[in-house]
Copies of this chain bind each other. A is one copy, B any other.
Amino acid sequence: MTSLHGPYARNGRYVGYFPPVAYPYAPPVPAHPWDAAAAYRQAVRRREQPLTFVLVHGSWADAGFWNGVAAELRRQGHTVYAPEYPGHGADFANTAATHAMMSQAIADDIETLDLRNVVLVGHSFGGTIVQKAAELVPERLKRIVFIDAFVLKDGGSLSDELPPEAVALFTQLMEASGNNAIMLPFPFFRDAFVNLASLETARQLYAGIKPEPAGPLFEKLDLKKFYSLTTPKSYVYLTVDNVLPQGLGYGWHPHMSSRLGQFRLIKGYGDHMTQFKTEPKKIADLLYMAGRD
Contact = CB atoms under 8 A, between A and B. Distances in A.
Interface of A: 31-39, 42-43, 46, 48-49, 165, 187-188, 190-192, 195-201, 232, 234, 239-240, 242, 245-248, 253-255, 258, 261-267, 269, 271, 274-275, 278-279, 289, 292-293
Nearest to A35: B269
Contact of A165 (B46, B198, B261): B261
A136 to B, nearest CB: 24
The residue in A198, A200, A253, A271 that gathers the most chain B C-beta atoms within 10 A of its C-beta is A198
B35 A34 contact: yes
A57 to B, nearest CB: 21
Contacts of A34: 33, 35
Given A33-B37, A38-B32, A278-B38, A232 B191 contact: yes
B265 A200 contact: no
Number of identical protomers: 3
A106 B38 CA distance: 34
Nearest to A241: B265
A242 B266 CA distance: 9
Contacts of A247: 254-255, 258
Contacts of A275: 39
B267 A239 contact: yes
Given A33-B33, A34-B33, A247-B254, A265 B242 contact: yes
A234 B32 CA distance: 27
Contact of A196 (B39, B201, B239, B258): B39
Nearest to A263: B191
